[in-house]
Structure 1
Amino acid sequence: MRINRKQIQLIKRQIKHQTKRTARIKGVDKVKRKAPTEITAKVEIEIIKVAEIIIKTAAVKITTNVADLINKIVVVKIRRKKERQIIVQRHRLLQNQKNFQKKLFSVSL
């Protein structure tokens, strides 16, 4: 069976969609501006680690939004559907993870 151009495009689109959902969100350094709706378990663990650092530095429990607390460096949202999902979205100004950590710890609370 020959694969025509339309089928190739469809496969490419599916791969692109999957990588956007998983690979691009690994850690914090490659988070896109829009937070995805679903997060894989591996990525979720990474995100929770980051969220824990935020809790330690801010010394508060996350309720709905900690963005105002940490000078809009990180947006933390908790979605209550089946289980609690913590979504960490990096601010546009930050370029890489090293910079992110420096900024995070140098915030005056």
Structure 2
Amino acid sequence: MRLVQVAQRAVDLERAAGFYADLLGVAPTATFDPPGLVFFDLEGTRLLLDRVAPSAYLYLEVPDIDATVQRLRAAGTTIVTEPHVIFPHEDDTLGPAGTDEWQAFIEDSEGNTVGLVEQRAR
């Protein structure tokens, strides 16, 4: 079984689409308005921005959490939590053994919290 789609609340669809296009570095794959839906492809999993969806916590893997947070801060994004180590991976249960899991949290254009994650070698 694999995750196919995640829906996220988008009060202002155009604003949210712009925010996620910048964050993800890709354009939407489809827009249907009405009824108010924008889709992004995240390597085979769809991110659906939906006017009537509830807020969800999204955690997105980034290659360099510090650079990503700096870029987003410069663009005016609210940084909720600065990059920090959440936990070390001693085995492969939740991430590559011998790495530390770094996370930071931002607020998207719609007030949803989004987690950024980097697996960093010690």
Which has the larger share of strand?
2
Give TM-score, length-normalised by structure 1.
0.28
Which has the larger share of helix?
1
